[in-house]
């Protein structure tokens, strides 16, 4: 873990906000060039080599400085995934978000966390259960993480406010949604913690919520789904949690209630049964510690020119192997017979050009 200089923090922010640079591409670029500032300098040429015609949209230093100033005015902190203040659980995600904004008590994110999520249009009984469960988990020393949505999320936050709770937002750190949770937001800022991957001032859009859900599960040792219909976003959070190696719990419900269909289906697929906090605590006691994963590159490659030459020969072959169906990067390495660094570098160039999409968990699709 390192502490970024002011100049490198600006470079991290500019790189993270660059068009077509998601967490996977960000990590590959910083690993390849050794710093965000060097990666930024290489972006125009990399995207051109990948087949892009128009220039990439890269924020200026002034743009990044304005974002830092706006976050500071809100009393929030910008934390990079390479820094010691970055939550250890989230750092273990493959890959973690490069940067997060945090408002409130950052220390809560360094305690063991459990996510409690569920339906927005929740039953009174479901909200009561979530509130009680969150209070019991908090009393046992766990911070409760949720998404500040109406229904189950809001109930979970309310139940855990006396002991510690964190809300992850889809929009910026100042995006209060839904508006009726304005009072809850203020209490979370004063007594709990608010987290966002998005720039301050950004309003949440539908595409932002899967990223938010990935952070909710990434911060947590386990996730409890209280109520969820079959197409609920809470089920996406549960799937992400399972992919991240977290424990998934579901609260059973009546087969006559559509809000129980998603949770009952999770149980059918092997999720842990949750009828009380004791069910969660019993499993957590036997869980191994989640370790921060090793990065793909430990140090930048010694011979950039040789890597560039290998990528030039490999790029079209790698693109031809891609399809709309996700395939693992390791499978591409096997199919090409080329060294992994060269395959990964080719994928980065293709992703910058919009010809490939690098997904969490080592998967790739055609752009």
Supply 172's token pair.
């910026």
Summarised one tens digit per residue, pLDDT across range 6-60 is: 999 999 999 999 999 999 999 999 999 999 999 999 999 999 999 999 999 999 9
User: Does the pLDDT of residue 297 top 60, yes or no?
Assistant: no
pTM for the full predicted model:
0.93
Q: Tell me, what DSSP letter sits at residue 91?
A: H
In angstroms, the CA 330 to CA 346 distance is 13
Res 292 pLDDT > 80: no
Percent of the chain surpassing pLDDT 90: 89
pLDDT given at position 306: 86
pLDDT-based confidence at 303, cuts 50/70/90? confident
In the DSSP assignment, the letter for residue 332 is: H
Average pLDDT over the chain reads: 94
* Nearest C-alpha neighbor of 67 from the set 228, 177, 196, 167: 196
Q: Which helix (H) or strand (E) holds 230?
A: none
What was the pLDDT predicted at 305? Answer: 82
Spatial contact of 4 and 82, defined as CB atoms under 8 Å apart:
yes
pLDDT tier for residue 3 given thresholds of 50, 70 and 90? confident
Residue 136 vs residue 286, higher pLDDT: 136
CA atoms within 13 A on the CB side of 92: 16
Angstrom CA distances, 197 to 118, 138, 172, 289, 312, stand at 21, 25, 7, 25, 34
Peptide bond into 178 cis (omega under 30): yes
Question: Mind giving me the DSSP string for 231-250?
Answer: T-HHHHHHHHHHHTT-EEEE
Domains, in order of start, for the chain: 103-285 (3.40.50.450), 304-366 (1.10.10.10)
The residue with tokens 């300098």 is 41
- pLDDT reported for residue 291: 58
Q: What is the DSSP string of 22-86?
A: -HHHHHHHHHHHSSHHHHHHHHHHHHHHTT--SPP----HHHHHHHHHHHHHTTEEEEETTSTTS
Between helices 304-320 and 36-49, what is the axis angle to 10°? 50
Confidence check: pLDDT of 1 > 70: no
Other Cβ atoms within 10 Å of 104 Cβ, number:
23
Three-class DSSP category at 327: strand
Question: What are 272's strand-pairing partners?
Answer: 249
Report the pLDDT value the prediction gives residue 360, as an integer from 0 to 100.
Answer: 87
| Residue 171 token pair | 């929009």
Q: Strand 99-104 relative to strand 193-196: parallel, antiparallel, unpaired?
A: antiparallel
Determine the average pLDDT of the residues in 343-363: 94
- 183 pLDDT more than 50: yes
| Mean predicted confidence (pLDDT) in 84-90 | 95
In this structure, of 182-196, 255-269, 300-314, the range with the lowest mean pLDDT score is 300-314
DSSP track, 267-323: HHTTPEE-SSHHHHHHHHHTPPPPPPPPPS-SS--S-HHHHHHHHHHHHHHHHHT--
- Under 8 Å between Cβ of 163 and 193: no
């Amino acid at each position: 873990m390192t502490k970024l200089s002011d100049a490198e923090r600006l470079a991290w922010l500019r790189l993270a906000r660059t068009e077509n640079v998601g967490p996977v591409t960000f990590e590959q670029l910083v690993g390849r060039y050794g710093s965000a500032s060097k990666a930024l300098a290489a972006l125009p040429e990399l995207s051109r080599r990948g087949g892009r015609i128009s220039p990439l949209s890269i924020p200026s230093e002034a743009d990044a400085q304005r974002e830092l100033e706006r976050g500071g005015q809100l009393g929030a902190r910008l934390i990079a995934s390479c820094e010691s203040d970055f939550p250890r659980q989230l750092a273990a995600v493959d890959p973690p978000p490069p940067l997060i904004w945090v408002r409130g008590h950052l220390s809560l994110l360094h305690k063991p966390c459990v996510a409690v999520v569920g339906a927005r249009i929740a039953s009174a009984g479901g909200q009561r259960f979530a509130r009680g469960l969150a209070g019991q988990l908090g009393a046992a020393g766990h911070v409760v993480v949720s998404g500040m949505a109406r229904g189950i999320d809001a109930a979970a936050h309310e139940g855990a406010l006396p002991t510690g709770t964190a809300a992850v937002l889809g929009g910026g750190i100042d995006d209060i949604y839904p508006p009726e949770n304005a009072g809850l937001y203020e209490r979370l800022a004063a007594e709990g913690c608010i987290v966002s991957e998005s720039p301050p001032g950004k309003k949440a859009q539908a595409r932002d919520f899967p990223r938010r859900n990935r952070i909710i599960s990434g911060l947590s040792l386990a996730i409890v789904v209280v109520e969820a219909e079959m197409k609920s976003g809470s089920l996406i959070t549960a799937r992400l949690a399972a992919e991240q190696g977290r424990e998934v719990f579901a609260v059973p419900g009546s087969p006559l209630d559509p809000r129980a269909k998603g949770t009952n289906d999770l149980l059918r697929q092997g999720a842990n049964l949750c009828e009380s906090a004791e069910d969660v605590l019993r499993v957590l006691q036997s869980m191994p510690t989640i370790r921060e994963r090793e990065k793909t590159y430990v140090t930048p490659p010694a011979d950039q020119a040789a890597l560039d030459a290998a990528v030039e020969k490999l790029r079209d072959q790698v693109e031809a192997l891609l399809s709309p169906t996700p395939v693992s990067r390791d499978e591409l390495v096997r199919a090409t017979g080329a060294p992994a660094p060269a395959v990964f570098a080719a994928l980065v160039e293709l992703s910058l050009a919009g010809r490939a999409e690098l997904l969490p968990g080592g998967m790739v699709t055609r752009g």
